[in-house]
Amino acid sequence: MKLMIHQTHHQTSDFKGVLKSLVNLFNQKNLENKEPEPTLHLFPENFLTGYPLKDLCLQKSFIDSYMKLIDDLNNLSLSYFDQRPEDVKGHSLLIGGLDYNFDKQGLPTQIKNVIFELTPGEKLKSVYTKRLLPNYDIYDERKYFAPGNELKIWNFQGKNILLLICEDMWPSHFYKVDPIQEAYELCKKENLSLDLVINLSASPFHLNKLEKRVIRAQEISKQLNAPMAYCNRVGGEDEILFDGGSFITDHHKILCQGKVFEKDCLVIDLDKSETKTPTTSQEKIDPPLSSKEKVNTWEWFFDPQLDKTATPTKLNGLSDEDCKVILQALKFGIQEYSEKCGLNNFIVALSGGIDSALVLTLMKLFLKEGQKVEALYMPGFYSANLSWELSSELCKNLDIPLYQLPIKFIHSTVRNSFRESFQSELEGLADENIQSRLRGSFLYARSNQTNAMVLNTSNKSELAVGYSTLYGDSVGAISPLGDIYKSEVFTIARYINKQYKDIIPEKIISRPPTAELREGQEDSQSLPPYERLDAILEGLLSYRMSPNELVNLGHDSKEVSKVFHLYQKSEFKRFQFCPIIKLKAKSFGFGYRIPLSHKRVE
């Protein structure tokens, strides 16, 4: 039996694209094999529709187009079999999709996240419904889908194949059932041996996720004594990336693995001896861990990157490998988003600081043929000459056009207008923020002129403490650094400089961070040093620690209290922020939901 894992890359609701790819498959040489070999084709979870759909799956226009796709696929299957029965014999497809129930008025009453079997000559047939519907963090599956309640051991060419969809392999305290444990018990009871475990997934990327998936699959393969095939999709859905990396593992042996952030197709013949499972006797199977023994706390899910042995706790640094993966992910995320928005120009506002310098450098590294990026430097009264010099040097290194649009004169004009209109001076916070907002406005005016996508330059630390001006430096279409702490920004910059011969001027990395909105301003005047700030923030955000706990872990109580206060009062800025490319297990964005206004907790 041949297995083909189709690691696909389609936009959400790209029904025409999905149909075309299946037509192509049916037309392929491998379906015209003169001596047909039984082949099982796997496609990811929700391949037919895309994922996550959110409310889209409830809209009639979406549903109508989807139902048309289903009809087209049924016709395709019937007609190919009619025309070339011998060519398609022995082939079968397992495809992730949605199964709708409607009321009399045609409104959806129930949607199931299912695996369809598509055997040439037959219509699509739902063979399995996803049982564990994740509903924590970025997941809202209980909002849209009804869970299945039956284990499915599906038969193909005499083989016993356990079917799973994504979360089904991750039983936890959220769920009452454990499909893996159930399968283990069923096999034992009925003296059944499994030939294959299949998991069709749409599994979002974050750092270390790929390893986590493989380890878990190896565990399951060992427990159920059968190879496990994991088929994941590729795609960027606003904040959330799907990284592919599909694989087949037999116990601990990885038989093959797909590319990351790229479509791919894995082919393997499972009947060849090298792919046989090493242990076949029941005695050698380790009893599976029951879900209750697993660590299923928020800590396990959100993988806080804290060194708790240090006093005070320290943020775990990014390794070179982490940096490499982050760059891959950001490139993919930005390219996906800009493609869907139909934009090939990019623009970044440079301040002379590290965040904007890194974003610009990354964008240059990410450019595809036909794409352009430009930089805009908008000096004001408090901008140091050094900021201009460093921005020029950076753009020269990167070979990127740099425009200068001074805001001093306009700023003066606005000050005068305020004096005239309100008989009051523009000063303090009002005078600081107006500079940032003028810059935001001009950046967008330029983006309107050149049809360019504005890349936001805020980092996770700033976002967490609200160290930015709403509608000012917080503007942008998408945020590449919004899931990267300031101390990690430095690490990534140094990583890039190692790879690309100090392309970012060293001085940009080493000068003290400042917003340059008033005379002599430095971040360190209002914030703790970034390494301490970031350790506190990771505790608050990923561990959901209380200030007390942080103090017990050795942090200064005044510092913790200040950070917690800034964090609580800046929710309104995060509320109006652009999509953040998700890189970590716990991020701001869709999976982070805090009331804007509530009585502050100490």
Residues 202-241 that bind a copy of itself (CB under 8 A): 237-238
- Helix or strand holding residue 185 (H, E): helix 179-189
HSE (CB half, 13 Å, CA atoms) of 525?
8
501 binds a copy of itself (CB under 8 A): no
55 binds a copy of itself (CB under 8 A): yes
Contact between residue 112 and residue 99 where contact means Cβ atoms under 8 Å apart:
yes
The smaller minimum CB distance to a copy of itself, of residues 286 and 300, is found at 300
Smallest gap, in angstroms, from Cβ of residue 353 to a copy of itself? 21
**Amino acid residing at 535:** A
The token pair at 502 is: 């100090």
The smaller minimum CB distance to a copy of itself, of residues 496 and 540, is found at 540
572 binds a copy of itself (CB under 8 A): yes
Kindly state the DSSP code that residue 319 receives in the 8-state scheme.
P
In Å, how far are 237, 524, 556 from 311, measured between CA atoms? Answer: 39, 21, 11
Smallest gap, in angstroms, from Cβ of residue 288 to a copy of itself? 20
| Catalytic hit among 57, 112, 117, 130 | 130
**Selected range binding a copy of itself among 185-193, 207-215, 388-396, 440-448, rule: CB under 8 A:** 440-448
564 binds a copy of itself (CB under 8 A): yes
Contact between residue 132 and residue 92 where contact means Cβ atoms under 8 Å apart:
no
In Å, how far are 138, 327, 473 from 479, measured between CA atoms? Answer: 17, 14, 12
72 binds a copy of itself (CB under 8 A): no
Binding mask 390-419 toward a copy of itself (x if CB under 8 A, else -) reads: -------------xxxx--xx--xx--xx-
The smaller minimum CB distance to a copy of itself, of residues 66 and 154, is found at 66
HSE (CB half, 13 Å, CA atoms) of 556?
8
**Selected range binding a copy of itself among 19-27, 46-54, 219-227, 324-332, rule: CB under 8 A:** 46-54
Q: Which of 171, 440, 482, 505 binds a copy of itself (CB under 8 A)?
A: 440
**Selected range binding a copy of itself among 11-19, 20-28, 72-80, 510-518, rule: CB under 8 A:** 11-19
**Amino acid residing at 240:** I
The smaller minimum CB distance to a copy of itself, of residues 274 and 602, is found at 602
For the question of residue 488 being annotated catalytic, the response is no
Report DSSP letters for 38-71, one per residue.
-EEEE--TTTTT-S--GGGGG-HHHHHHHHHHHH
Sites for a copy of itself among residues 162-181 (CB under 8 A): 173
Task: For residue 378, give the 3-state DSSP assignment.
Answer: coil
- State the residue for tokens 């996240």: 113
Smallest gap, in angstroms, from Cβ of residue 556 to a copy of itself? 17
For the question of residue 166 being annotated catalytic, the response is yes
Sites for a copy of itself among residues 336-355 (CB under 8 A): 336-337, 340-341
First to last CA, the chain: 61
Smallest gap, in angstroms, from Cβ of residue 198 to a copy of itself? 27
| Catalytic hit among 166, 187, 231, 323 | 166
The smaller minimum CB distance to a copy of itself, of residues 55 and 122, is found at 55
For the question of residue 578 being annotated catalytic, the response is no
**Selected range binding a copy of itself among 74-82, 485-493, 522-530, 544-552, rule: CB under 8 A:** 544-552
Q: Closest Cα to residue 357, out of 531, 238, 475, 497?
A: 497
44 binds a copy of itself (CB under 8 A): no
Q: Which of 20, 252, 544, 558 binds a copy of itself (CB under 8 A)?
A: 544
65 binds a copy of itself (CB under 8 A): yes
Report DSSP letters for 284-315, one per residue.
GPPPPPPTTTS--SHHHHH---EETTSSS-EE
471 binds a copy of itself (CB under 8 A): yes
Q: Which of 41, 437, 532, 562 binds a copy of itself (CB under 8 A)?
A: 437
Sites for a copy of itself among residues 108-147 (CB under 8 A): 108-110, 135-136, 140, 142-143
In Å, how far are 136, 296, 376, 411, 434 from 407, measured between CA atoms? Answer: 45, 53, 12, 6, 10
The smaller minimum CB distance to a copy of itself, of residues 50 and 258, is found at 50
Kindly state the DSSP code that residue 199 receives in the 8-state scheme.
E
Binding mask 295-334 toward a copy of itself (x if CB under 8 A, else -) reads: -xxxx-----------------------------------
Smallest gap, in angstroms, from Cβ of residue 468 to a copy of itself? 13
187 binds a copy of itself (CB under 8 A): no
Smallest gap, in angstroms, from Cβ of residue 258 to a copy of itself? 23
The smaller minimum CB distance to a copy of itself, of residues 311 and 404, is found at 404
In Å, how far are 378, 490, 507 from 511, measured between CA atoms? Answer: 19, 11, 6
71 binds a copy of itself (CB under 8 A): no
36 binds a copy of itself (CB under 8 A): no
Which residues, at least 6 apart from 339, have a Cβ–Cβ distance to it below 8 Å? none
**Amino acid residing at 377:** Y
The smaller minimum CB distance to a copy of itself, of residues 192 and 430, is found at 430
Separation CA 201–CA 181 (nearest Å) = 19
State residue 255 phi and psi, 5-degree precision.
-80, -35
Separation CA 482–CA 463 (nearest Å) = 7
Going through 239-292 in order, the beta strands assigned E by DSSP cover: 240-243, 247-250, 253-257, 264-269
Q: Catalytic residue numbers? A: 45, 130, 166
